[in-house]
Structure 1
Amino acid sequence: MEKMNYKSVGVWLDQSKAHFIGYQDGEATFIESLISPHERIKREDGEESDTARFSPNPSVLSNNEYRKNNIAQNELNEYYKMLEDKIGKFEDVLLFGPGTAKDQFKNRIAENKAFKKKWISVQNADKMTDNQLLAFVRDFYKS
Protein backbone atom coordinates (compact mmCIF):
# COMPACT_ATOMS: atom_id res chain seq x y z
CA MET A 1 0.00 0.00 0.00
CA GLU A 2 3.04 2.27 0.23
CA LYS A 3 3.70 2.41 -3.54
CA MET A 4 1.80 5.65 -4.23
CA ASN A 5 0.38 8.30 -1.97
CA TYR A 6 -3.30 8.19 -2.77
CA LYS A 7 -5.57 10.79 -1.20
CA SER A 8 -8.77 9.07 -2.33
CA VAL A 9 -9.68 5.43 -1.91
CA GLY A 10 -12.67 3.26 -2.69
CA VAL A 11 -13.27 0.32 -0.37
CA TRP A 12 -15.56 -2.46 -1.55
CA LEU A 13 -16.43 -4.42 1.55
CA ASP A 14 -18.66 -7.07 2.95
CA GLN A 15 -18.24 -9.08 6.15
CA SER A 16 -15.75 -11.49 4.62
CA LYS A 17 -13.32 -9.28 2.67
CA ALA A 18 -12.44 -5.77 1.56
CA HIS A 19 -10.79 -4.52 -1.64
CA PHE A 20 -8.94 -1.19 -1.58
CA ILE A 21 -8.89 0.79 -4.82
CA GLY A 22 -6.80 3.95 -4.92
CA TYR A 23 -7.81 6.91 -7.07
CA GLN A 24 -5.48 9.60 -8.33
CA ASP A 25 -5.36 11.77 -11.47
CA GLY A 26 -8.34 10.05 -13.10
CA GLU A 27 -6.91 6.55 -12.65
CA ALA A 28 -8.15 3.82 -10.30
CA THR A 29 -5.71 1.13 -9.18
CA PHE A 30 -6.01 -1.89 -6.91
CA ILE A 31 -4.00 -1.36 -3.75
CA GLU A 32 -4.70 -4.52 -1.75
CA SER A 33 -7.31 -6.92 -0.40
CA LEU A 34 -8.03 -7.68 3.24
CA ILE A 35 -9.61 -10.95 4.38
CA SER A 36 -11.81 -10.87 7.47
CA PRO A 37 -11.20 -13.25 10.38
CA HIS A 38 -15.00 -13.48 10.69
CA GLU A 39 -16.45 -16.86 9.72
CA ARG A 40 -20.12 -16.72 8.76
CA ILE A 41 -20.91 -20.37 9.51
CA LYS A 42 -18.80 -21.86 12.24
CA ARG A 43 -19.29 -25.41 13.46
CA GLU A 44 -17.24 -27.01 16.17
CA ASP A 45 -16.63 -30.75 16.31
CA GLY A 46 -19.27 -32.51 18.40
CA GLU A 47 -21.52 -29.47 18.48
CA GLU A 48 -25.21 -30.16 18.96
CA SER A 49 -28.30 -27.97 19.01
CA ASP A 50 -28.46 -24.79 21.07
CA THR A 51 -31.44 -25.87 23.17
CA ALA A 52 -31.13 -26.60 26.87
CA ARG A 53 -30.76 -30.32 27.56
CA PHE A 54 -33.19 -30.83 30.45
CA SER A 55 -35.71 -28.11 29.76
CA PRO A 56 -39.33 -29.20 29.28
CA ASN A 57 -39.65 -26.34 26.79
CA PRO A 58 -37.60 -27.08 23.63
CA SER A 59 -37.50 -23.40 22.69
CA VAL A 60 -35.35 -22.51 25.73
CA LEU A 61 -31.83 -21.80 24.52
CA SER A 62 -28.61 -22.57 26.30
CA ASN A 63 -25.66 -20.27 26.88
CA ASN A 64 -24.09 -21.70 23.72
CA GLU A 65 -25.96 -19.23 21.48
CA TYR A 66 -24.80 -16.28 23.61
CA ARG A 67 -21.19 -17.50 23.40
CA LYS A 68 -21.38 -17.92 19.60
CA ASN A 69 -22.76 -14.40 19.21
CA ASN A 70 -19.96 -12.93 21.32
CA ILE A 71 -17.33 -14.74 19.25
CA ALA A 72 -18.87 -13.44 16.01
CA GLN A 73 -19.07 -9.86 17.34
CA ASN A 74 -15.44 -9.94 18.50
CA GLU A 75 -14.31 -11.17 15.07
CA LEU A 76 -16.27 -8.40 13.32
CA ASN A 77 -14.82 -5.78 15.68
CA GLU A 78 -11.31 -7.06 14.90
CA TYR A 79 -12.05 -6.84 11.16
CA TYR A 80 -13.39 -3.29 11.45
CA LYS A 81 -10.34 -2.29 13.51
CA MET A 82 -8.09 -3.62 10.73
CA LEU A 83 -10.08 -1.56 8.19
CA GLU A 84 -9.77 1.58 10.35
CA ASP A 85 -6.01 1.17 10.44
CA LYS A 86 -5.85 0.82 6.64
CA ILE A 87 -8.04 3.84 5.73
CA GLY A 88 -6.62 6.17 8.36
CA LYS A 89 -4.15 7.81 5.96
CA PHE A 90 -6.66 8.65 3.21
CA GLU A 91 -8.55 11.94 3.00
CA ASP A 92 -11.52 10.81 0.88
CA VAL A 93 -13.06 7.39 1.46
CA LEU A 94 -15.80 5.74 -0.58
CA LEU A 95 -17.36 2.71 1.12
CA PHE A 96 -19.40 0.53 -1.20
CA GLY A 97 -20.60 -3.03 -1.45
CA PRO A 98 -23.56 -5.31 -0.77
CA GLY A 99 -25.24 -5.83 2.57
CA THR A 100 -24.94 -3.79 5.75
CA ALA A 101 -21.21 -4.07 6.50
CA LYS A 102 -20.44 -0.70 4.89
CA ASP A 103 -23.14 1.01 6.99
CA GLN A 104 -21.98 -0.68 10.20
CA PHE A 105 -18.41 0.38 9.46
CA LYS A 106 -19.45 3.97 8.66
CA ASN A 107 -21.32 4.18 11.98
CA ARG A 108 -18.27 2.85 13.79
CA ILE A 109 -15.83 5.36 12.28
CA ALA A 110 -18.33 8.22 12.73
CA GLU A 111 -17.69 7.87 16.48
CA ASN A 112 -13.91 7.99 16.03
CA LYS A 113 -12.31 11.45 16.36
CA ALA A 114 -9.53 10.55 13.92
CA PHE A 115 -12.09 10.39 11.10
CA LYS A 116 -13.98 13.64 11.84
CA LYS A 117 -12.11 15.67 9.19
CA LYS A 118 -12.20 12.97 6.53
CA TRP A 119 -14.79 12.89 3.76
CA ILE A 120 -16.61 9.54 3.83
CA SER A 121 -19.34 8.43 1.41
CA VAL A 122 -21.40 5.23 1.36
CA GLN A 123 -22.85 3.74 -1.84
CA ASN A 124 -24.77 0.53 -2.49
CA ALA A 125 -23.21 -1.88 -4.97
CA ASP A 126 -23.51 -5.55 -5.77
CA LYS A 127 -20.71 -8.03 -6.23
CA MET A 128 -18.51 -6.85 -9.08
CA THR A 129 -15.67 -8.03 -11.25
CA ASP A 130 -12.27 -6.38 -10.89
CA ASN A 131 -12.86 -4.13 -13.90
CA GLN A 132 -16.28 -3.10 -12.58
CA LEU A 133 -14.72 -2.19 -9.21
CA LEU A 134 -12.15 0.04 -10.91
CA ALA A 135 -14.81 1.66 -13.11
CA PHE A 136 -17.14 2.28 -10.15
CA VAL A 137 -14.43 4.12 -8.18
CA ARG A 138 -13.24 6.04 -11.25
CA ASP A 139 -16.78 7.15 -12.16
CA PHE A 140 -17.60 8.10 -8.58
CA TYR A 141 -14.59 10.38 -8.13
CA LYS A 142 -14.88 11.94 -11.61
CA SER A 143 -18.37 13.23 -10.90
Structure 2
Amino acid sequence: MDHKSFKQVGVWIDHSKAHFVGYKNGKAELIETVDSPFESMKRYEGETDDKTRFTANPLHASNNEYRKNNISQNELNEYFKLMEGKLTNFEDILLFGPGTVKEQLRNKLRDNKSFGGKWLAVQPSDKLTDNQLLAFVRDFFDNATP
Protein backbone atom coordinates (compact mmCIF):
# COMPACT_ATOMS: atom_id res chain seq x y z
CA MET A 1 0.00 0.00 0.00
CA ASP A 2 1.05 3.56 -0.62
CA HIS A 3 2.02 5.71 2.38
CA LYS A 4 -0.47 8.40 1.30
CA SER A 5 -3.43 6.01 1.21
CA PHE A 6 -3.59 5.64 5.02
CA LYS A 7 -5.82 7.99 7.02
CA GLN A 8 -5.37 6.17 10.33
CA VAL A 9 -1.97 5.65 11.93
CA GLY A 10 -0.59 4.19 15.12
CA VAL A 11 2.75 5.54 16.33
CA TRP A 12 4.78 3.59 18.87
CA ILE A 13 7.09 6.25 20.30
CA ASP A 14 9.83 6.60 22.87
CA HIS A 15 12.83 8.92 23.21
CA SER A 16 14.99 6.95 20.76
CA LYS A 17 12.65 6.15 17.84
CA ALA A 18 9.12 6.03 16.50
CA HIS A 19 7.44 3.27 14.47
CA PHE A 20 4.59 4.32 12.16
CA VAL A 21 1.91 1.69 11.54
CA GLY A 22 -0.76 2.54 8.97
CA TYR A 23 -4.27 1.09 9.26
CA LYS A 24 -6.86 0.74 6.49
CA ASN A 25 -9.76 -1.66 5.90
CA GLY A 26 -8.87 -3.97 8.79
CA LYS A 27 -5.21 -4.28 7.82
CA ALA A 28 -2.19 -2.80 9.55
CA GLU A 29 1.14 -2.21 7.82
CA LEU A 30 4.47 -0.92 9.12
CA ILE A 31 5.11 2.30 7.18
CA GLU A 32 8.44 3.54 8.52
CA THR A 33 10.73 3.95 11.51
CA VAL A 34 12.06 7.37 12.48
CA ASP A 35 15.16 7.71 14.66
CA SER A 36 15.22 10.51 17.19
CA PRO A 37 17.98 13.13 17.42
CA PHE A 38 17.48 13.07 21.22
CA GLU A 39 20.31 11.60 23.30
CA SER A 40 19.64 11.29 27.02
CA MET A 41 23.16 10.46 28.21
CA LYS A 42 25.57 12.52 26.19
CA ARG A 43 29.27 12.75 27.00
CA TYR A 44 31.73 14.89 25.13
CA GLU A 45 35.37 13.94 24.70
CA GLY A 46 37.45 15.33 27.55
CA GLU A 47 34.39 16.13 29.63
CA THR A 48 34.62 15.69 33.38
CA ASP A 49 31.90 15.63 36.00
CA ASP A 50 29.59 18.58 36.69
CA LYS A 51 31.28 19.91 39.82
CA THR A 52 33.07 23.24 40.01
CA ARG A 53 36.82 23.23 39.94
CA PHE A 54 37.18 24.49 43.53
CA THR A 55 35.11 21.88 45.35
CA ALA A 56 33.92 18.30 44.95
CA ASN A 57 30.66 19.12 46.71
CA PRO A 58 27.73 18.10 44.46
CA LEU A 59 25.71 21.05 45.81
CA HIS A 60 28.05 23.40 43.96
CA ALA A 61 27.20 22.30 40.45
CA SER A 62 28.50 24.22 37.50
CA ASN A 63 26.51 25.88 34.74
CA ASN A 64 27.29 22.81 32.62
CA GLU A 65 24.08 21.12 33.80
CA TYR A 66 21.95 24.02 32.56
CA ARG A 67 23.64 23.89 29.15
CA LYS A 68 23.11 20.11 28.88
CA ASN A 69 19.43 20.45 29.78
CA ASN A 70 19.01 23.21 27.21
CA ILE A 71 20.60 21.05 24.49
CA SER A 72 18.41 18.04 25.32
CA GLN A 73 15.24 20.18 25.30
CA ASN A 74 16.16 21.55 21.87
CA GLU A 75 16.74 18.01 20.57
CA LEU A 76 13.37 16.89 21.95
CA ASN A 77 11.62 19.86 20.31
CA GLU A 78 13.35 19.01 17.01
CA TYR A 79 12.05 15.42 17.34
CA PHE A 80 8.50 16.68 17.96
CA LYS A 81 8.65 19.01 14.92
CA LEU A 82 9.78 16.06 12.79
CA MET A 83 6.86 13.99 14.11
CA GLU A 84 4.38 16.83 13.44
CA GLY A 85 5.54 16.97 9.83
CA LYS A 86 5.11 13.21 9.40
CA LEU A 87 1.64 13.15 11.03
CA THR A 88 -0.03 15.99 9.09
CA ASN A 89 -1.47 13.67 6.40
CA PHE A 90 -3.33 11.42 8.87
CA GLU A 91 -6.83 11.97 10.26
CA ASP A 92 -6.87 9.51 13.20
CA ILE A 93 -3.69 9.22 15.27
CA LEU A 94 -2.95 6.68 18.00
CA LEU A 95 0.14 7.40 20.11
CA PHE A 96 1.36 4.53 22.22
CA GLY A 97 4.54 3.37 23.91
CA PRO A 98 6.40 3.43 27.22
CA GLY A 99 7.23 6.56 29.19
CA THR A 100 5.83 10.05 28.86
CA VAL A 101 6.91 11.03 25.34
CA LYS A 102 3.52 10.09 23.90
CA GLU A 103 1.74 12.54 26.24
CA GLN A 104 4.29 15.27 25.50
CA LEU A 105 3.79 14.77 21.76
CA ARG A 106 -0.01 14.77 22.17
CA ASN A 107 0.22 18.10 24.01
CA LYS A 108 2.41 19.55 21.24
CA LEU A 109 -0.05 18.34 18.58
CA ARG A 110 -3.02 19.84 20.46
CA ASP A 111 -1.22 23.20 20.55
CA ASN A 112 -0.76 23.06 16.75
CA LYS A 113 -3.84 24.45 14.97
CA SER A 114 -3.41 22.18 11.95
CA PHE A 115 -4.23 19.20 14.21
CA GLY A 116 -7.40 20.81 15.57
CA GLY A 117 -9.89 18.58 13.72
CA LYS A 118 -7.90 15.38 14.03
CA TRP A 119 -8.64 12.53 16.41
CA LEU A 120 -5.81 11.83 18.89
CA ALA A 121 -5.64 8.88 21.27
CA VAL A 122 -2.94 7.86 23.75
CA GLN A 123 -2.45 4.32 25.06
CA PRO A 124 0.25 2.86 27.33
CA SER A 125 2.35 0.06 25.89
CA ASP A 126 5.59 -1.80 26.47
CA LYS A 127 8.24 -2.51 23.87
CA LEU A 128 6.69 -4.61 21.12
CA THR A 129 7.89 -6.75 18.24
CA ASP A 130 6.84 -5.84 14.69
CA ASN A 131 3.98 -8.36 14.73
CA GLN A 132 2.81 -7.11 18.13
CA LEU A 133 2.87 -3.51 16.81
CA LEU A 134 0.64 -4.48 13.90
CA ALA A 135 -1.74 -6.42 16.16
CA PHE A 136 -1.92 -3.56 18.70
CA VAL A 137 -2.88 -1.00 16.04
CA ARG A 138 -5.31 -3.38 14.30
CA ASP A 139 -7.07 -4.25 17.58
CA PHE A 140 -7.26 -0.60 18.64
CA PHE A 141 -8.77 0.72 15.40
CA ASP A 142 -11.09 -2.30 15.05
CA ASN A 143 -12.57 -1.52 18.49
CA ALA A 144 -12.34 2.29 18.44
CA THR A 145 -14.92 4.67 17.07
CA PRO A 146 -13.40 8.12 16.46
The TM-score with structure 2 as length reference comes to 0.93
Deviation, structure 1 residue 56: 8.1
CA distance in 2 between counterparts of 1:90 and 1:48 reads 45
Alpha-carbon distance change, 42 to 9 in structure 1, aligned in 2, over 3 angstroms: same
Deviation, structure 1 residue 71: 0.6
Q: Which runs of 5+ in 1 are unaligned?
A: none
SS of structure 2 residue aligned to 1:41: coil
Deviation, structure 1 residue 53: 1.4
Per-residue CA shift, 1:90-125, capped at 9, x if unaligned?
A: 000000000000001111111110111000000000
Query: Which residue pairs with 1:89 in the alignment?
Result: 89
CA distance in 2 between counterparts of 1:9 and 1:56 reads 50
CA distance in 2 between counterparts of 1:57 and 1:107 reads 38
Provide the alpha-carbon RMSD of the alignment: 1.5
Deviation, structure 1 residue 46: 1.0
How many residues are aligned here?
Answer: 143
Query: Which residue pairs with 1:124 in the alignment?
Result: 124
Amino acid in the other structure paired with 1:77: N
Q: Which runs of 5+ in 2 are unaligned?
A: none
% identical aligned pairs: 59
Query: Which residue pairs with 1:138 in the alignment?
Result: 138
Deviation, structure 1 residue 2: 4.9
Per-residue CA shift, 1:56-113, capped at 9, x if unaligned?
A: 8541111100000011011110011000000011000000000000001111111110
User: Are 1:17 and 2:17 counterparts?
Assistant: yes
CA distance in 2 between counterparts of 1:40 and 1:3 reads 31
Query: Which residue pairs with 1:68 in the alignment?
Result: 68
SS of structure 1 residue aligned to 2:132: helix
